[in-house]
Chain A
C-alpha cells in the first residue's frame, strides 16, 4: 500500500513535469517553430489570404534586410482579438496586418469615428499609450466589411444600399463571420441592429472563408465579406454601400511591440519602406493570385517583393518624421 502511494506521487510528479516542460520553458519541441520568448521575430498571421500574404511580405522584408534574424509566422489566427492577445501575451511580437476600425471598436473600446485620419490617429495613440505597441502608418489600402451578393440577386430584389435589405430581411439567407456576430465592438451585429434598426431572420454564423463559395453556389443570398477579397471578382459579386456608416474605416498597418523594436530597431525603417506601397488594386491582385490562381501566399509575397526589388530604392526614414509619431519615445540604439 505504501509503495503504491509513493508510485502515485511519482505519477503526479511526472504529470506536472510534463506540463511545466511544455509551457514554462521557451524551448519548443524539436522540429517545431519557436515563440517570441526566444528573442525571435514572430509574426501573427491570420486565416484570411490577405493576412497571410502581407505577413509573408513582412517576413521576407525582414529576412532580406536582416538575414541573420530568425523570423516565424504563426498562421491562421482566426480574428483580431486572438492576434491582439498573442501580442500582449508575448506569443508573437509583430502583426502582419491590423485594421484600424476593428481595433478602434474592439481592443480600444471606442465608438466609430468618421474619417480615416481620425481613426488612424486614435488607434496609433491608443495602442502606444495603453499597450506599448507601435502601430505603423498604413500600407495604403483599406479593407472594409461589406454586404455582398450576386448580380442576379441584386436585380431580383432591386437592392442598392445596405438599408434596402430591410424589406427582405425575413426572406434573405444571410451568412456572416462568427467573429462578427457577437463581437464586443459597435461595428458588430449589435451595432448593425442599432444603426440600421432591423435584423435578419435567416442568419447563419459561419466561417468567413466559406461565405463566398456559399453565395456563388446559391446557398446564401447575402454575405458579409471583406471588400478586398479576391473572390469578389472571381465570383462576380457586387457590394452594397454601407449607407448609414455602420462600419468605420479599416485601414491596414503592420504593428510591432515596443519590446521587439528595442531589440531590433532596424524594423522601424524596414517596415516604413512598405508605407503606402500596397494600393487597393495591388492587394486585390495579390489576393487574386493566391485564391484564383492558387499560388501559395509565400510565393505571392516573394514575387511581389522581387518585382519591387524589396523597395531598396525607397529611402530609409524614421517614424519621428511623421507628425503623428513625434511625441513617441522611439530613440533606440541603432546598430
Chain B
C-alpha cells in the first residue's frame, strides 16, 4: 500500500480534486433546483405528491443506465456526469424542503402576514429559517450519497476517484480499489460531520 501511495500520490490528489469538483457542482446544482422547487410545490399540496413520486422513481433508475444514455445526448466527460449526479441529488433535498415547510405550524405564517410582511419577506424571514434544519438534513443525506455515486462518473470518462476503483476492479488490484475507496469514504464521513454541525447551527434556539 505504501508503495502504491508513493507511486500514485500525485495522481491521487488529482483524482480527489476532480472528485470533489464534480461532487460540489452537482450538489450545488441539485440544491439550486430542489430547494426552490420544494418551496414552490409546498404551495400546491395536491400536485406536490405527484412531483415527489416522480423524483423518487427517478432515483430508482440504475445509475449505470442513466450514464450510458447520457453519452449520445450529452457526450462523455464531466458535464454529463454532473448532470446525472445532480438528478440523483434532487430527491432527498426536495422531499425535506417540502416537509420542512409543510410541517410548520400554519399559525406562524398567518401571524407574520398579519404583521404586514410581504410573501417574499415571510419566505425569507420566517419560512426558510424555520425550515432550514430539515432542508439541511436533506442536503446532508444527499451529499453523503453523492460522494459515493460520483465514483460512477469514471464509467463515462469523467475521472475522479472512480478511475482508481474501476482500474482496481478490472485489474484485480486491491491497492487501487482501496486507494479509491478510502478517500471517498473519508470525504463522505467528513461531509456528514461538517453538515451535522451546520444543521445544529441553523436550528433556531427555541427548537433545541
Contacts and interface: CB of A to CB of B under 8 A. Distances in A.
A179 B170 contact: yes
Contacts of B157: 175, 204-206, 214
A207 B171 contact: no
Contacts of A219: 71, 75-77
A207 B76 CA distance: 11
B76 A214 contact: yes
Interface in A199-229: 204-207, 210, 213-214, 217, 219-220
A81 B77 CA distance: 26
B75 A214 contact: yes
A182 B171 contact: yes
A82 interface: yes
Interface residues of A, number: 24
A78 interface: yes
Interface in A124-141: none
A210 B68 contact: yes
A178 B167 contact: yes
Contacts of B72: 213, 217
Contact of A204 (B68, B77, B169, B176): B77
Contact of A182 (B71, B75, B77, B176): B176
A79 B68 contact: no
Nearest to A216: B72
The A interface, classified by DSSP as helix, strand, loop or mixed, is: mixed
A53 B203 CA distance: 59
Contact of A205 (B166, B172, B173, B176): B166
Contact of B154 (A79, A205, A213): A205
A330 interface: no
Contacts of B71: 210, 213-214, 217, 219
Given A207-B155, A210-B68, A217-B71, A79 B77 contact: no
A79 B154 CA distance: 16
Given A178-B163, A178-B166, A205-B157, A82 B172 contact: yes
Contacts of A210: 68, 71, 76, 155-156
Given A175-B157, A210-B156, A220 B76 contact: yes
Interface in B166-187: 166-167, 169-173, 176
Contacts of B68: 207, 210
A302 to B, nearest CB: 27
B166 A184 contact: no
A184 B76 contact: no
Given A179-B167, A205-B154, A206-B155, A81 B172 contact: yes
Contacts of B169: 78, 82
Given A182-B173, A217-B75, 13 more contacts: A81-B171, A175-B157, A181-B167, A182-B171, A183-B170, A204-B77, A204-B157, A210-B155, A214-B75, A217-B71, A217-B72, A219-B71, A219-B77
Interface of A: 78-79, 81-82, 84-85, 175, 177-179, 181-184, 204-207, 210, 213-214, 217, 219-220
18 contacts: A78-B170, A79-B171, A82-B172, A179-B167, A179-B170, A182-B167, A204-B157, A205-B154, A206-B155, A207-B68, A210-B156, A214-B75, A214-B76, A214-B157, A217-B72, A219-B71, A219-B75, A219-B77
Interface of B: 68, 71-72, 75-77, 154-157, 159, 163, 166-167, 169-173, 176
